[in-house]
A and B are shown apart, each in its own frame.
Chain A
Amino acid sequence: NAGVTQTPKFRILKIGQSMTLQCTQDMNHNYMYWYRQDPGMGLKLIYYSVGAGITDKGEVPNGYNVSRSTTEDFPLRLELAAPSQTSVYFCASSLSGGSEKLFFGSGTQLSVL
């Protein structure tokens, strides 16, 4: 099993550009998550999904969109990149919520200049 795979690993965007961060998992997990990590701020939940076709906002959803058309994939879309979106983004998955542990991808380091 590859686990949770994120692409790209690094990206530099200009203000106003758009891009999609890809995330795929091969563990048949129902729950998937997108977090952003900023220095000293821990992980903030952007969006999550409890199954294909079901998504919901987390703590910091503004400026982002997601879709979940399959169990495996959970892409994160940035429509109009802003400097405040400079961060490290982590995708994660779990079999279910609550007591199940999260499996994390290796992260995408995004800079918006």
Chain B
Amino acid sequence: AQSVTQLDSQVPVFEEAPVELRCNYSSSVSVYLFWYVQYPNQGLQLLLKYLSGSTLVESINGFEAEFNKSQTSFHLRKPSVHISDTAEYFCAVSDSPGGSYIPTFGRGTSLIVHP
């Protein structure tokens, strides 16, 4: 069965500083990986995803994540955060063909950006 571990429940950071949100997964088959963001009082929305090909994927608002198969990780990074990035971030994994196809979510990491 697949599982996702987000090691940090909360990450405080100052505005314009870099940030990394960690995500590790386990699965017995090849996987698809996702990062979702949840702003206060809203549902989740997709930030970026890795399906295949280049291991580095980017979002339109400056976030990037790198798939590392040997370390089974998919950490999310941003070189310079903004106050508006304050939100809950969820890593998710879904098995590729041969697996369950149903996504499993991590516990979430609360990113708090201070001025």
Q: List A residues at the B interface (Cβ < 8 Å).
A: 4, 33, 35, 40-43, 45, 48, 58, 90, 92, 96-99, 101-102, 104-107
Contacts and interface: CB of A to CB of B under 8 A. Distances in A.
A35 B103 CA distance: 11
Main SS of chain A's interface residues? loop
Contact of A104 (B34, B45, B95, B104): B45
In this complex, the interface size class of chain B, counting residues with CB under 8 Å from chain A, is 20 to 34
Interface in B30-76: 32, 34, 36, 41-46, 49, 51
Interface of B: 6, 9, 32, 34, 36, 41-46, 49, 51, 90, 94-97, 99-108
A96 B101 CA distance: 8
Nearest to A96: B101
Contacts of A48: 102
Given A40-B9, A41-B107, A42-B90, A97 B101 contact: yes
A101 B34 contact: yes
Contacts of B96: 98-99
Given A45-B104, A90-B43, A99-B94, 18 more contacts: A35-B105, A40-B108, A41-B107, A42-B90, A43-B44, A43-B90, A45-B102, A48-B102, A58-B102, A92-B43, A97-B101, A98-B96, A101-B46, A102-B46, A104-B43, A106-B41, A106-B43, A107-B41
